[in-house]
Amino acid sequence: SHWQIFWHIILPLCRPALATAAVFLFVAHWNSLLQPLIYLQTTSLYTLPIYVTSLVNPQQVVQPWPTIMAASFLTALPLIVVFLLLQRHLIGGIILTGMKG
């Protein structure tokens, strides 16, 4: 049937492209800064990138750099995990694009 063709032939061939699109979309939405900053009014609803940027205060002489670096690492950790989970598919897509056939 058409669904079996889709699930057993087309989808496995498209897996590297879908993984690449998933990684790029996740990174774009995870790092979005302007849109949540416009919509959110209370600080308890801030996303992690907004919270990290709010830690830097240009009026302070001494910045809390250890706190900022720890928050930056925790913000980047989900991106690293997603990349590591989908790395096999991303590398497979890069390898397939370099082959002549």
- Provide the domain count of the chain: 1
Q: What is the pLDDT of residues 43-93, one digit of tens each?
A: 888 888 888 888 888 888 888 899 999 999 999 999 899 889 888 877 877
Residue 93 lies in a domain: yes
Tell me what percent of the residues of the chain surpass a pLDDT of 70: 94
| Cβ pair 64, 37 in contact under 8 A | no
Residue 2 lies in a domain: no
Q: What is the pLDDT of residues 17-41, one digit of tens each?
A: 888 888 888 888 888 888 888 888 8
Residue 26 lies in a domain: yes
Residue 10 lies in a domain: no
pTM value? 0.69
Residue-range definition of the domain harbouring residue 52? 15-97
Q: Higher model confidence: residue 95 or residue 22?
A: 22
Closest CA to 46 of 75, 7, 67, 6: 75
